[in-house]
Structure 1
Amino acid sequence: MRIFLTGFTVFLIFTVFARWYFVCELRHHCEEKPVVVAGANTLALYDGDKPILQGFEQFNFPYRSFRPSLSSSNEEFIEKAAGWLEENPGKNITITGRFLDTEAKARSGIFENLGIARASAVENLLIKAGVDADRITIDYEMVEGNELAEPVSFGLYTPQTEAPGKLEKLQFSFEDNTFSDANFEYNSDEFNPGEQCRLYADSVKNYLDQHPDMMLEIIGHTDSIGGESYNYELGLRRAKKAAEYFRKLGVKSTISVASKGEAAPMAPNSKPNGADNPAGRQKNRRVNFKIVKKEGG
């Protein structure tokens, strides 16, 4: 009888743990749901301090998803933003996608995080409305807490002149994608790609297998901590390690590697008051993958 009770107790504990793991860890049904400010008509588009569009409903994304639930107000905003850009060819637009810290491990397609994936989903809407993809750049931001009042926001800029501090604007597309140094060991060139980066790499391999006239460019970037020469070399070593990974994956096409070191930040390395800006430095430590046509191809 004692053996039976002991065995039953062990079985019961295992069953409870297995159910918790399936429900909470795999299905993510135990997490506190975020507070969504549904229907808030605070979406706007500004050209500097000048309002272009105001009073539109914020885009709504289900928790842990990068597929928007579009409203008629969202569709009208896209249509009017595309129309304004057509009338003002000297301006480009940046879409900033946001995600909660509790969504950090959510699946996000070929992109590194939900913020990028959400911005990309809205970018596709603008492209369908007639905006040239080269006029759209993407940024991202992680938000702490359980409220995401502004999943995406928009900003206008004049290329090469109004980019804050001459910060580099990124595309985040299949042909021009970027991943952070989270895929590398700290202060190291050891490449250890995460799930989203591996998914992207597999897609790139399949694409290059089918398009022998295309090649892959890999460019390493760093923050401004350390010397300029050291950062250049670190960026180059990381680009080379990433190239080795693609070779081991079976990519036979041409792969070129380069480094810009700390010379092309996408975010400020320090705050306006001179204090360190860890979030900005994290964005600057990155590797850029570009699929381009071979010379003479």
Structure 2
Amino acid sequence: MLDLALDLLITALVIGVALWTIRTRDDFAAIVGFVAYGLLLTLAWARLAAYDVALTEAAIGGGVTGVILLRASVRLKPVTTARTPIGVRVLVGLLCAVISAGLAAVVLLPVSPPPSLAADVRSHLASTGLGNPIAGVLMAYRALDTFLETVVVLLALFGAWSLTPDRAWGGRPGAPIPTASFGPLPLFGRLLIPIGVVIGIYIVWVGADAPGGKFQGATILAAMWILAMMAGLTEAPPIGRWRLRLLLAAGPIVFVAVGVAGIPLAGSFLAYPEALAKPLILLIEVALTLSIAATLGLLVAGPPETAPGTEL
């Protein structure tokens, strides 16, 4: 009974915060509502025992995305928008209701027996050397989807960089941040960052056999870098540095290289020879972790604002 009450409470809060976030006209309040919505979804996924999804939602949906939206709201100028016609609002409301009803029907009226490949995945999981079925699916059975997800994140960074003024191309992202030796934020950064880096590395490593993985660990590492920049302990590097660009591309490059090597070694693209499956997957995970962490940190930093050679 207590579990049911908790689930109903989380469901009510998710719906209530979602409606409030949509209705509010204040940008900052809407972003706070979005972050709270992401954290509530984290609880919902945890209640469904989908801990990998919960970690991803907390790190990206409720964390990094919220910071990016906050920075965007500060950079954007206030605009006056015309009121949406009532007919359009009604149509959008009806479409949302139809989609919600369809999703509810999928959940409440499942096909019996439900179609599932879980048994097949578990029976072949040992060939990957992984103990976490989520990692096995993402890196073996849906490796192409995982690769495309990492490329999309990199393309988002390119989109942010495309807003760079011509004079600042190749410079540092964001405005110069003065260094500070004293104060609560630098002290907080010096205390938290080493702990966060260790946790991020652990989340990546344990993802092979337990909930965790590259996206979750990379987001934690990116958050520590963002904290260091916010505290004035460091600045984002100039985007013209070749080492930075190599780091951003390292994950996709390693992924493609291993995938191509699978053609002669295992018979198809993104296939792994059984004896080398786990080492190759861990190699991809480490490379992707570094690339995703750098990409997310630079996304938050934004496009360069300082011309090359004029950095403080």
Structure 1 and Structure 2 fold alike (TM over 0.5):
no
Q: Which has the higher helix share?
A: 2
Structure with bigger strand share is 1
TM-score range, shorter chain: under 0.3
Q: Given the two structures, how large is their TM-score scaled by the length of structure 2?
A: 0.23
TM-score when normalising by structure 1: 0.24
Q: Larger relative contact order (C-alpha < 8 A, sep ≥ 6)?
A: 2
